[in-house]
Amino acid sequence: MSIHLRPSQALRLWQQTSLAEVRAGGPDLTERQIAILLTIYLDPPPHTVRGLAEKLGVTKPVITRALDTMGALKFVSRHRDERDRRNVLIRRTVDGALFVERLGDVVVAKAAELPL
Amino acid sequence: MSIHLRPSQALRLWQQTSLAEVRAGGPDLTERQIAILLTIYLDPPPHTVRGLAEKLGVTKPVITRALDTMGALKFVSRHRDERDRRNVLIRRTVDGALFVERLGDVVVAKAAELPL
DNA sequence: GGAAACCGTTTCGGTTCCGTACCGTTCATT
DNA sequence: AATGAACGGTACGGAACCGAAACGGTTTCC
């Protein structure tokens, strides 16, 4: 039983959610940053810079910079992999989990308000 | 008959859509820019800088700059209002309509693929 | 042990974005 | 005709971003 959405509903949902996020005054993340953040929180760990770069189809510095920004926001944290010290493991944080959880709630709420 | 989504489904939908957009290699819009673009394409005209600033709860320069960027992408166009030459009317473009339409289709497709 | 491969970060020049404050034009009111 | 309000845009210093390339630290492989 999959989710059925018409294009007009999908766009309205996207607009209402974006609008709510902007108005809430939180950080103005880019689409890349959102994709990275959600991947870290939804896909099973471990997450590495290279792995994320491949999954998103972007270069490594893009990931490094996004992690810098979201690390400053305390949405993610970095830790050296002790089993292979070349790797950096990206981990979730309490603040990041709260942010993602709240985002999910906003989408659900806006979906429920959607007109036919 | 409203749309029912669980938070986990909402987040997965958001992730899959963002991921598809990033991988498609299009412009990396910020959440603010997306909110502006969708508002221009979904809400009835006319759209002005001030009106958009109020709707999003941001300052005018934010709108001006976003219109600069999206104008360079040919997603929107600006025209002086001849009835009140203080106003600038923001209009849709063919390229912008295509972009928005494609975004809607991506959301619909990802929603259909959503697991239970 | 030394070369090669791998990983994440840093550097470079250049672009875009931010918020605050100010500017030039146009309209409304008197 | 003049004043004040309204509108969009610009200037500023500071921050974040880009892609391409180079850089150290680590592991792997002969």
Percent of the residues in chain A that have a pLDDT greater than 90, as a whole number: 89
Percent composition of chain B: helix, strand, coil (DSSP 3-state, to 5):
60, 10, 30
Domain tally, chain B: 1
Q: Return the half-sphere exposure (C-beta side, CA atoms, 13 A cut-off) of residue B63.
A: 22
Q: Does B81 reside within a domain?
A: yes
The pLDDT of residue B1 is 54
Q: What's the token pair of residue B39?
A: 């508002």
Q: Does A84 reside within a domain?
A: yes
Q: Does B2 reside within a domain?
A: no
The pLDDT of residue B33 is 94
Q: Does A50 reside within a domain?
A: yes
The pLDDT of residue A115 is 81
Q: Does A1 reside within a domain?
A: no
Instruction: Tell me what the pLDDT averaged over chain A comes to.
Output: 92
Q: List, in order, residues 6 or more apart from A13 with CB less than 8 Å away.
A: A5, A107, A110, A111, A114, B3, B107
Cα separation, A79 vs A64, whole angstroms: 13
The pLDDT of residue B3 is 80
The pLDDT of residue B114 is 87
- Does residue A74 register a pLDDT over 90? yes
Percent of the residues in chain A that have a pLDDT greater than 70, as a whole number: 97
Q: What is the residue range of A62's domain?
A: 7-112
> Do strands B88-92 and B76-80 pair parallel, antiparallel, or not at all (unpaired)?
antiparallel
Q: Does A2 reside within a domain?
A: no
Strand C: list positions under 7 Å from protein Cβ. 6-11, 16-21, 24-28
Give the residues of chain B that fall short of pLDDT 70.
Answer: 1-2
The CATH number assigned to the domain holding A69 equals 1.10.10.10
The pLDDT of residue B13 is 95
Q: Does B69 reside within a domain?
A: yes
| pLDDT tens sequence across A8-60 | 999 999 999 999 999 998 899 999 999 999 999 999 989 999 999 999 999 99
Q: Does B1 reside within a domain?
A: no
Q: List, in order, residues 6 or more apart from A68 with CB less than 8 Å away.
A: none
With H, G, I as helix, E, B as strand and everything else as coil, classify residue A70: helix
Question: Is B39–A104 a contact, with Cβ atoms under 8 angstroms apart?
Answer: no
What does the CA dihedral A88, A90, A93, A98 come to, rounded to 10 degrees?
A: 160
pLDDT range class, residue A1, cuts 50, 70, 90: low
Q: How far is the CA of A40 from the C1' of D23 (A)?
A: 28
B23 touches strand C (CB under 7 A): no
The pLDDT of residue B4 is 86
Q: How far is the CA of B6 from the C1' of C8 (A)?
A: 36
